[in-house]
Structure 1
Amino acid sequence: MNETPTSAELRNSLVDEMILNTVDLTPAVERALRTVSREAYLPGIDLQDAYVDKAVTIKENPNGPLALSCASVPSVVAMMLVQLDVQPGDNILEVGAGTGYNAALLAELTGALGRVTSIDIDSDVAVHARTMLNRSGYERVQVIERDGLVGAPENAPYDRMLAAVGLWDMPTAWWEQLRDGGRLVLPLRWRGQTRSVALTRRGNSLVSDDMALCGFVPIIGQDGERTVALNADDTIRVHYDEDQTVDVDALSASLRDTQGIEALSEQRIGGEESFDGVWLRATADDDRVCRLEATPAALDQELILRPAIPGRSPLLVDGGSLAYLIVRREGAHPERPFRLGAAAYGPRAVDLAQDLIAHIEAWGNARTSVPRLTITPAKTDEPTAGHVISKPESRLTLTY
């Protein structure tokens, strides 16, 4: 007779699964994950569902497709905690309280001599987190209903800051709240993709030493990304940053009136092999990079050649021309049966396709390489070497 697994058994099984799937846990993070009960922060959810490596929505958004708040994917939580490198006794600020689970993990990591402040703009979310933390014995965590962009200066300076919401820009208010030498981990979005970036403050610069692909509910109050439809049915969309120029009419005409072309690179991948690094590589020297979204309806009607990932594929836009990433099965290569390439439309389709292929080849020559990201305040006069992306409150500089 099969017995129902206990919370501890499920918790340990999930951590074992992370390790098996090459999530590189530190001993401290592993211990915290095996200690804190995730189901305690998700009342009403089935016990076994609490230990599936998936996000759980805790508050829907009546005004959009993305949730207002959710419990993040456990393996992503673990990855970001490893990036944060919490030390015993640290003073920590968490932006985005969520369920309270992450704050409990932070409390375990920093210990009884440390301090954790968790803030959230949504009163319901803040109350939920406070209630669950109290029930679980983490009364020492301070939960504040507060706009995350403001931070919590009353408890600063912080040794560690963690954003559990997606950021499009580095808030000016955060600079003085992180001590020099302190560490910040945030899901940062630029050119349509989001990376969890681990940075250390060095004077007036934040310098990265790690980044990983992720996706998070965006913080309320930042709206630097734009979305436009390229057809009347709104089934093909371009997402771009406010500093970029997108000629919607010209692009729409090219999709409607010109024949798409395909060109393949020399880079092959296996069925489970990630190729998101192509996107990251392209952003390091090309300001034409955006995101293409093609809905299932667009694909069913064959309005567009199939993108690599229909919902989110890197895209180059230049006037009335566009080129985006594709994946095509080609040849008898059992280990890497797919080739990466470009589909393109418009008067400069051939040239733009080759530009995208150049990014693919650059990625293929160093597939695990990631750029160094340096963030400085927007008004800084300090020179930086590399490709610069300017935002209202900060300046991003990428170098390989």
Structure 2
Amino acid sequence: MNTAPTADDLRNKLVDAIVKTRPLPTRIEAAMRTVRRDQHVPGIDLETTYSDRAISIKDNPNGPLPLSLASVPSVVAMMLDQLDAQPGHNVLEVGAGTGYNAALLSELVGSTGHVTTVDIDPGVALYARQALNRTGYGHVTVIERDGLLGAEENGPYDRIIAAVGLWDIPPAWWTQLKDGGRLVLPLRWRGQTRSAALTRHGNTLTSDSLELCGFVPIIGQDGEHTTRLAGDTVRLHHDHDQHIDPTLLDPAFDGQATEAWSATEVASTEPFDGMWLHTTATDDRVCRIEVTTEALDAGIRRPAIPIRTPALVDGNSAAYMIFDKTKATPGHALLGAAGYGPHGADLAHQLTQYINTWGTHRDLAPSLTIHHSVSPGPMPAGGHAIRKNDTLMILTLPGSTPNGS
């Protein structure tokens, strides 16, 4: 007689799959086998709850993205690994969600540590509070508050982790993170999001890990803009320091694309977002292109990933990454670029050069240093600067040359 798998069965099966792909420290693996995700997302069937996917818990009436999500479990595990919370640590979480991540953090810091989680939405904060009470983590502090303000009353913190996308690091977090403490956050620049693990040294944060991720953006930061083109079938997502004039660029998409092809192939399961990260360390023209279903169906746009593909934009011209499986060896795709506008061919060629540079050094990742705006410090040799409102980011790719401001 067949019996349905229990929550414990499914939870252990999920953790088994996660550690097979990414081995975890024993303590993090044990926490993920202990905390019951199904008790933090009630009303969802067990198979869905213990799949490696995000689960929406509150819709956003003002936008397409949910207001709050239960994050993808493998991403939760990755970020906990980056954070390295230890017994006795005082931890701040920004973005309470379902309370699941706070429960995991509580397991990691133990009875001698403490976890504070904050959320700007009263309904989400209440949900997290009730779930934590229900699951035996009533000692976790839940605060309804703008996460950009942190929680000074319970600081300073050994660790701060954000479960929402940040475009910049808020000033309050600098004062609330201990010197030598670690900050892990989904940091957004040039259209991409990376989970950055950073250690504070005075007025400087230095990275030792940059992992691909995606999170709902925090409320209250406006450094990212969206420019709509070609009858809103093409959207460019870019930073406020990237000056994109739609009146100049829109006509470019009326013409035919000019294609250029690199010498770089990727396997069908191999990610190529590393090229995006590489290119942001050398070129200020990088942004994200998104095309609508209408544009795809008409066959007039075909970026590598319709909703998030790296692009170069310069004045009245643009180019974005494409791929073609018919031009590559079996099981692979050849990467290239499609250019639009008077200088589209040049931009497409430049993009293929970036692709080839990454293709030759796929394991080479830039380091990230973030300076508090009050004390930016000296510019490192070879560093590429990106100025935010409150911080100065320096990306350093070994062997690169300065090209920032």
Tell whether the structures are fold-level matches, with TM greater than 0.5. Answer: yes
User: Which residue pairs with 2:346 in the alignment?
Assistant: 351
Gaps of 5+ in 1: none
Distance 1:300 1:45 in 2: 34
Query: Conserved in 1, the CA contact under 8 Å of 2:182 and 2:198?
Result: yes
Cα RMSD after superposing both structures: 1.0
User: Counterparts in 2 of 1:49-60, with a 5 A limit?
Assistant: 49-60=48-59
Query: Conserved in 1, the CA contact under 8 Å of 2:265 and 2:328?
Result: no
Shift of 1:47: 1.9
Distance 1:331 1:360 in 2: 16
User: Which residue pairs with 2:70 in the alignment?
Assistant: 71
User: Which residue pairs with 2:10 in the alignment?
Assistant: 10
Secondary structure at the residue paired with 1:149? helix
| Deviations 1:126-185 (CA, angstroms, capped at 9, x unpaired) | 111011101111111000001000000111110010000000011011001000110000
Secondary structure at the residue paired with 2:356? helix
Equivalent position amino acid for 2:76 in 1: V
Equivalent position amino acid for 1:104 in 2: A
Distance 1:46 1:253 in 2: 49
User: Which residue pairs with 1:255 in the alignment?
Assistant: 253
Shift of 1:354: 1.5
Secondary structure at the residue paired with 2:276? helix
Distance 1:339 1:223 in 2: 36
User: Which residue pairs with 1:280 in the alignment?
Assistant: 277
Report how many residues are paired.
395
From 362, 370, 375, give the equivalent of 1:375: 370
User: Which residue pairs with 2:403 in the alignment?
Assistant: none
Query: Conserved in 2, the CA contact under 8 Å of 1:24 and 1:79?
Result: no
Distance 1:346 1:331 in 2: 25
| Deviations 1:3-36 (CA, angstroms, capped at 9, x unpaired) | 111111111000011122x123111110000000
Gaps of 5+ in 2: 398-405
User: Which residue pairs with 2:160 in the alignment?
Assistant: 161
Distance 1:262 1:218 in 2: 34
The answer on 1:218 being equivalent to 2:217 is yes
Query: Conserved in 1, the CA contact under 8 Å of 2:327 and 2:334?
Result: no
Distance 2:312 2:132 in 1: 46
- Assess, with a 3 A threshold, how the Cα gap between structure 1 residues 332 and 344 changes in structure 2: closer, same or farther: closer
User: Which residue pairs with 1:179 in the alignment?
Assistant: 178
| Deviations 1:257-310 (CA, angstroms, capped at 9, x unpaired) | x32111110001111111001110110010000111111111112333x11111
User: Which residue pairs with 1:269 in the alignment?
Assistant: 266
User: Which residue pairs with 2:32 in the alignment?
Assistant: 33
Distance 1:320 1:59 in 2: 40
User: Which residue pairs with 1:87 in the alignment?
Assistant: 86
Distance 2:329 2:287 in 1: 31
User: Which residue pairs with 2:315 in the alignment?
Assistant: 319
In percent, how many aligned pairs have the same letter? 58
Secondary structure at the residue paired with 1:138? coil
TM-score in terms of structure 2 length = 0.96
Large movers: runs of 4+ above 4 Å:
none
User: Which residue pairs with 1:148 in the alignment?
Assistant: 147
Query: Conserved in 2, the CA contact under 8 Å of 1:41 and 1:99?
Result: yes
Distance 2:359 2:318 in 1: 22
- Assess, with a 3 A threshold, how the Cα gap between structure 1 residues 381 and 6 changes in structure 2: closer, same or farther: closer
TM-score in terms of structure 1 length = 0.97
| Deviations 1:87-144 (CA, angstroms, capped at 9, x unpaired) | 1110000000000000000000000000000000011001110111011111110000
User: Which residue pairs with 1:297 in the alignment?
Assistant: 294
Query: Conserved in 2, the CA contact under 8 Å of 1:322 and 1:346?
Result: yes
Query: Conserved in 1, the CA contact under 8 Å of 2:312 and 2:318?
Result: yes
Query: Conserved in 1, the CA contact under 8 Å of 2:116 and 2:143?
Result: yes
